Amino acid sequence: MGKLKHFIIDGYCYFLTSTTEWRKQIFNNFGNAQILCNIIYNLRKREKFFLLGFTIMPEHFHLIIIPKGNIVVSWVMQEIKKGSARLINIRSNTKGKIWMDEFYDYVIRNENDLIKHLNYIYNNAVKRRFVEVPSEYPWSSANPKFETDVEEILSRQVGTTVLGTRGRL
């Protein structure tokens, strides 16, 4: 199978997904999920992207971001995957790859598309019957303990709409 093509469009909102190698359920472990969550929030804190939503499932994660400045999604995913693999391997005293090489990206086109994708990631845990309502899942921005930038982004008035007619910030 060939490499997935990634479209890089400055200032756009992206829905991203990455899966563990062999769909191994690495993030059933609280410590491993915390490592991945910390890396995501560290990059947000370092002003690399606006975080609109995320969900960490046992064998994959979803992220909705708007990269800042000259940051591209491939760099964000490389940092998340490289950093989490290194720390999880140290924590479990193992070596080796934990992520599939590729990741999936999709450009969010407008506010309705954003809401659709947020609902999709928030309902992942409900669909898998881990919880009854999205806000109960401990590794999702649907849980009120996590802060995101979604309200800031949706409240902005840039051009004619918040995300523009094509998802542009």
pLDDT tens-digit series, residues 19-50: 999 999 999 999 999 999 999 999 999 999 99
Quote the tokens at residue 11: 């200032």
Confidence check: pLDDT of 5 > 80: no
Write out pLDDT tens, residues 101-133: 999 999 999 999 999 999 999 999 999 999 999
The predicted model scores a pTM of 0.88
Q: How far apart are CA 65 and CA 151, in angstroms?
A: 13
Q: How far apart are CA 21 and CA 143, in angstroms?
A: 27
Contact 21, 119 (CB under 8 A): no
Report which of 68, 34, 61 is spatially closest to residue 149, judged by C-alpha positions.
Answer: 68
Report which of 150, 106, 151 is spatially closest to residue 12, judged by C-alpha positions.
Answer: 106
Q: What confidence score (pLDDT) does residue 168 get?
A: 47
Q: Name residue 99's beta-bridge partners.
A: 20
Q: Taking all residues of the chain, what is their mean pLDDT, rounded to a whole number?
A: 89
Report which of 139, 163, 145, 161 is spatially closest to residue 63, judged by C-alpha positions.
Answer: 139
Q: Output the CATH code of domain 14-155.
A: 3.30.70.1290
Helices 73-92 and 30-45 pack at an angle, to 10 degrees, of 140
Confidence check: pLDDT of 8 > 60: no
Q: Cα–Cα distances in Å, from 47 out to 17, 44, 60, 70, 157? A: 21, 5, 24, 11, 21
Report which of 80, 64, 23, 57 is spatially closest to residue 134, judged by C-alpha positions.
Answer: 57
pLDDT-derived band at 155 (thresholds 50, 70, 90) equals: confident
Confidence check: pLDDT of 84 > 50: yes
Backbone angles phi, psi at 18, to 5 degrees: -135, 145
